[in-house]
Chains A and B, each alone.
Chain A
Amino acid sequence: TQLLEQSPQFLSIQEGENLTVYCNSSSVFSSLQWYRQEPGEGPVLLVTVVTGGEVKKLKRLTFQFGDARKDSSLHITAAQPGDTGLYLCAGGLLLYNFNKFYFGSGTKLNVKP
């Protein structure tokens, strides 16, 4: 059983469309991270959110941390083929001043030109 559930698992859309990816848990996290992974490469950190209700923007990507710090969403506006990849969320649980991150199952996004 995954600590973090992501939905949808797969998403195939046309260039220019908007989309939202969700990351949900019953656990409260000290912080939450979003990564993008391209085929044959390791995940690359996009953003870290630490405060309940926090919203961060990265160009066309908007990240939100839930008020209760149990969930998060990633919204992409006007998706482009370059956004194609596997999106992973990771929740941090703080223990002895160290954040241990647990990864979600991922959302595989395909943006067609």
Chain B
Amino acid sequence: DAGVIQSPRHEVTEMGQEVTLRCKPISGHDYLFWYRQTMMRGLELLIYFNNNVPIDDSGMPEDRFSAKMPNASFSTLKIQPSEPRDSAVYFCASRRRDGYQETQYFGPGTRLLVL
């Protein structure tokens, strides 16, 4: 199994540009999560999907952020327009439920720098 795949691994962009982060979850997992990690705020949940449907987007910072999951094997997180304070590492994770065990698998992350 390839694990959770994210692209790109690094992104440098200028303020005001659109940024799109991509994620391929592990096959068979029915939950997908987008997290953001910074030194100041730690690891924060932005949004999660169940069976491709967005369930809770209460962690999305503002309207500049949007996420989609058009099918079970692909999700995007878009920032438009980007701002320097969006600089962070963005993780995608997928989870399956196996009895009471809920094992969450993280991707390697996308390191975003907005200049």
Q: Are A101 and B104 in contact (CB under 8 A)?
A: yes
Which of A33, A42, A92 contacts B4, CB < 8 Å? Answer: A42
B96 to chain A, nearest CB (A): 12
Q: Is B115 an interface position by the 8 A CB rule?
A: no
Contacts of A33 in B (CB 8 A): 104
Q: Which residues of A contact B54 (CB under 8 A)?
A: none
Q: How far is the CA of A48 from the CA of B101 in the complex (A)?
A: 8
CB distance from B110 to the nearest CB of A (A): 11
Residue numbers in A under 8 Å from B107 (CB-CB) = 42
A66 within 8 A of B: no
B7 → chain A, closest Cβ, in Å? 14
A103 to chain B, nearest CB (A): 4
**A99 near B: Cβ within 8 Å?**
yes
Is A44 part of the binding interface, using a Cβ–Cβ cutoff of 8 Å? yes
Residue of A with least CB distance to B111: A40
Interface residues of chain B: helix, strand, loop or mixed (majority): strand
A43 touching B100, Cβ below 8 Å: no
Contact with A along B49-68 (1 / 0, CB 8 A): 01000011000000000000
Cα separation A92 to B104 with both chains bound (whole Å) = 12
A68 at the interface (CB under 8 A from B): no
Task: Indicate if the CB atoms of B108 and A48 lie closer than 8 Å.
Answer: no
Q: Which of B56, B93, B102 has the most CB of A within 10 A?
A: B102
Binding site for B on A (CB under 8 A): 2, 31, 33, 40-45, 48, 50, 88, 92, 98-106
Known: A42-B106, A42-B108, A105-B42. 7 other contacts (CB 8 A): A31-B102, A41-B108, A42-B93, A45-B104, A92-B102, A98-B55, A103-B45
25 contacts between A and B (CB under 8 A): A2-B42, A31-B100, A33-B104, A41-B108, A41-B109, A42-B4, A42-B91, A42-B93, A42-B106, A42-B109, A43-B43, A43-B106, A44-B106, A45-B104, A48-B102, A50-B100, A98-B50, A98-B55, A99-B102, A100-B45, A101-B45, A103-B43, A103-B44, A103-B45, A106-B42
